[in-house]
Chain A
Amino acid sequence: MELLYNIFVDPFIQMYEAPDFLLQVLWEGLVSGVLYALIALGFVLIFKSSRIFNFAQGIMVVFAALTLVGLHENGVPAWLAVPITLGVMYVLAVGIERVVLRPLVGQPDIILFMATIGVTLFLIGFGEFIFGGENKVMITEALGIPTGALEFEPFGGFVLIEEKDLAAVIMAVLLVIALLAFLNRTSMGRAIRALGDDHQAALSVGISLSTIWVIVWFIAGVIALATGIVWGARAGVSFALEVIAYKALPVLMLGGLESVSGAIIGGLLIGLLEKLFEIYWGQPLLGGNTETWFAFILALFVLLFRPQGLFGERIIERV
């Protein structure tokens, strides 16, 4: 009886009694969700255009962030370090297309997936060689990102919102709007979507596979840089950031691998629900740390009913 009370009644009493705390939990969940969505977007873009599950997305986040910080440490001003980092990500995209993807055109998906594991290992080694393994501080202030905090006192309590988290949310929203506009309103965006729908048909109407791949990997690099900046501003820049890529997996399972809106809604849903579950059920009843598995269980539950995810395309294969 007590267990049932703790599951079905007590959490809601806590929410009612401390609404300011609930607001803080929801805000933290929203910020986490935005960050998860950003990582997932990088995966979705590449999968959408090439059916490749890019295992290297996590290390691209680290590589982009380290390049930015590394350039600044060597005296390059932040306003210049950002475009140079984007240039590096473009060169990386061209390199991956020329050296890794192009020779593997027509190979099974699993081969291309394995190739991205190779890219990951290369970037880890190369990144550690160039930048070292030490933790670095994100150049938050130099980038003009505010570092203060806003305090509110709703319901007689308090809610604290860090300005850099607010900036992260705004930046993510702008990035997503720009991305959606690019994909839906430009000919290049339509070409990417066409390639994702049917490679052979897209090629037959003159869409260049190699150009699209370079562009898509470059956009994934831009998203990686944005992700690296916002995550790095929270807890420093190190190779530990690579681990956060795994947080995108349940988002992709939930939202669908080829849906941009699925990545965003999936990320927000997981961010909010895992935080609520951890605070009101996980910590009091299960000893905490439920965030390591909650999202996967939620995604598995969704897959039971929608194997393609909430927003994924249903693939019907006829024999």
Chain B
Amino acid sequence: MKSLTKFATLIAASTMLVGVGAATVQAADSLYTPNLTYRTGPFAATGIPIMNGQRDYINMLNARDGGVGGVMIDFDECETSYNTNKGVECYEKTKGDAIVTQPWSTGITLQVLPRTNVDRIPILAPGYGFSPMSDGNTFAWAFNPPVSYWDGASMILNGISEGNLDNLKGKKVALLHLDHPFGKEPIPVIKALAEKHGFEFLPIPVGLKEMQNQSAQWLQIRRERPDFVVMWGWGAMNAGALTEAAKTRYPMDQFVGVWWSGHDADLEALGAKGKGYRSLSWNVPGNYPVMEDIKTHVVDAGNSMIENADEMDSTFYQRGVVMSMYLAEAIKEAQAKFGTAKINAEQMRWGLENLDISEEKLASLGMAGMTTPFSTSCSNHTGHGGAWMLRWDGEQFVQDGDMLSPDRDLIMPMEAEKAAEYAKNNAPWPGRGDLACD
């Protein structure tokens, strides 16, 4: 019966999509902000809740406020299955009227990065992408607030060393990472910090086909006995690693993941066996006023893709909400600066470069304490706000300690060096080109 209902829904949804498509063509006054999603494929399990959060926040703004600055947001999705080739196709397909692109994978981000310079469309990649994108003078069209992967690596090491990396001297830190551009991102920073503070660094790659069966990786962990295992996983890799960790009885309080390795559903499957596992996060799940608005205007109105309102409480759903808040606030900044509601991609780029997510602003949006405050500038396209450790208490993620900050003194020169190297390898790289810093 449920299947029949779903089939009927499919027919109805298809009909609506045709209608929406027609409306999109007609809605010349809307702002087109495509999202290159992956609701299918091996990474869908972790992608879906975040993308639902993103979509619902924008739908809430459209329903509650009539969009942003009086203009509706057309939040289109293009399915990539986390496949880089499909992602590039999606970018090409959606770039026409787009004021921003959200590539949603470090691999896709790296592929579209040079194209966005030519097409003059800003990339918004919150919490992912190539860490040196922070250097706004080199990557004028790319933005990855509120923290980069390099910041994340530094903050995780700060967390496990209790604020003093010299505490790690003589210890062994393993990095269990997806063998993919995303998974390899933190390696330079951890290597540099290992040399500086005298701890041993052991990278352990996990292939895409091995995500579900990580017995070899966990046998290596059993043999090497690292003091800490840092996980840079995504999709099915997280569930596979957590299961193996529990099976091999690796101490969960010595196992820490990046913000993409903190999916509630993966830990719920593990229950009490996952107790003590920590995940870095730049959002803290909770009952925020903004969530009530989303529930009222979107979920209760039947316009959300979530099947159960409880999903709104998850860390990933709320992170999606935060991501779309960045998008909406950048639009507001640009609208205010240029005096027009119907901004173009270049004006959106300015908005992203002058994003100011202060505590006051978060409070006014009903999101006080939900995410880290930060601001961007011409030279700083990340913001480098900070993040918290969330600890799984056996039933849910709870905040564990104060906000952590990255070691910017170490990371900044690395970003500048890698950005310069990227520009050199991709010469002639335009840098800021004709874009003023104002």
The secondary-structure label for the interface of chain B is helix
The yes or no answer to B67 lying at the interface (CB within 8 A) is: no
The reply to whether the CB of B411 lies closer than 8 angstroms to some CB of chain A is no
Residue A28 at the chain B interface, CB threshold 8 Å: yes
Task: Check A37 for interface membership: any CB of B closer than 8 A.
Answer: no
List the one stretch of A92-100, A103-111, A213-221, A236-244 in contact with chain B.
A236-244
In Å, the complex CA distance between A243 and B206 comes to 14
Chain B residues near A283 (CB-CB < 8 A): 216, 220
Chain B residues near A35 (CB-CB < 8 A): 213
Q: Mark B251-266, 1 if CB is under 8 A from A, else 0.
A: 0000000000000011
B6 with A240: CB separation less than 8 A: no
Residues of B within 8 A of A128 (CB): 39-40, 44
Picked from A149, A238, A292, the residue with its CB within 8 Å of the CB of B45 is A238
Determine whether the beta carbon of A130 is less than 8 Å from that of B42: no
**Contact string against A for B residues 206-243, beta-carbon threshold 8 Å, 1 for contact and 0 otherwise:** 11111111011101101100000000000110011001
Say yes or no for A24: interface residue by CB 8 A criterion: yes
Tell me if B3 and A234 are in contact (CB < 8 A). Answer: no
Compute how far the CA of A186 lies from the CA of B249 in the bound complex, rounded to whole angstroms: 47
Question: What are the residues of chain A within 8 A of B205 when measuring CB–CB?
Answer: 287-289
Residue of A nearest to B266 (CB): A135
Query: In the bound complex, do residue A235 and residue B239 qualify as a contact, i.e. CB atoms below 8 Å apart?
Result: yes
Q: Which of B2, B236, B266 has the most CB of A within 10 A?
A: B236
In the assembled complex, A200 has its CB within 8 A of some CB on chain B: no
- When the two chains form the complex, which single residue of A18, A25, A74, A231 contacts B212, counting CB atoms closer than 8 Å? A231
Collect the chain B residues with CB atoms within 8 Å of residue A10's CB. none
B359: CB under 8 A from chain A? no
Among A130, A242, A292, the residue within 8 A (CB) of B6 is: A130
User: Could you tell me if B179 and A243 are in contact, using CB atoms closer than 8 angstroms?
Assistant: no
Cα separation A243 to B208 with both chains bound (whole Å): 8
B216 engages A278 (CB within 8 Å): yes
Tell me whether A31 is interfacial, beta carbon within 8 Å. yes
Contacts A135-B266, A235-B243, A289-B206; A32 near B213 (Cβ below 8 A) = yes
Measured CB to CB, the closest approach of chain A to B250, in angstroms, equals 12
For residue B211, which residues in chain A have a CB less than 8 angstroms away from its CB?
235, 240, 243
Interface size on A, residues (CB 8 A): 43
Q: What's the minimum C-beta distance from B298 to chain A, rounded to whole angstroms?
A: 18
| A291 sits at the interface (CB 8 A) | yes
Among B6, B42, B179: residue with most chain A CB under 10 A: B42
Contact B48 A240 (CB under 8 A): no
CA distance A292 to B46 in the complex (A): 23
Residues on the B chain within 8 Å of A21, using CB: 219, 222-223
Chain A proximity of B332: nearest CB distance (Å)? 32
Chain A residue with minimal CB distance to B42? A240
B238, closest chain A residue (CB)? A135
Whether the Cβ atoms of B10 and A292 lie closer than 8 Å is: no
Pick the contact of B209 from A124, A134, A231, A247 — CB < 8 Å? A247
Closest chain A residue to B220, Cβ basis: A283
Contact B42 A289 (CB under 8 A): no
Q: Which residues of A contact B207 (CB under 8 A)?
A: 289, 291-292
A133 within 8 Å of B (CB atoms): yes
A93 to chain B, nearest CB (A): 19
21 contacts between A and B (CB under 8 A): A21-B223, A28-B216, A133-B39, A133-B40, A133-B44, A133-B48, A135-B236, A149-B247, A160-B249, A238-B44, A240-B212, A243-B42, A275-B216, A283-B220, A288-B205, A288-B216, A288-B220, A291-B207, A291-B216, A292-B179, A292-B208
Given contacts A35-B213, A133-B44, A239-B40, 20 further A-B contacts (CB under 8 A): A32-B213, A132-B307, A133-B39, A133-B45, A134-B44, A134-B45, A134-B48, A135-B236, A149-B247, A235-B211, A236-B243, A243-B212, A244-B209, A275-B216, A279-B216, A283-B216, A287-B205, A288-B217, A289-B210, A292-B209
- Chain B residues within CB distance 8 Å of chain A: 2-3, 6, 10, 39-49, 179, 203-213, 215-217, 219-220, 222-223, 235-236, 239-240, 243, 247-249, 265-266, 269, 307
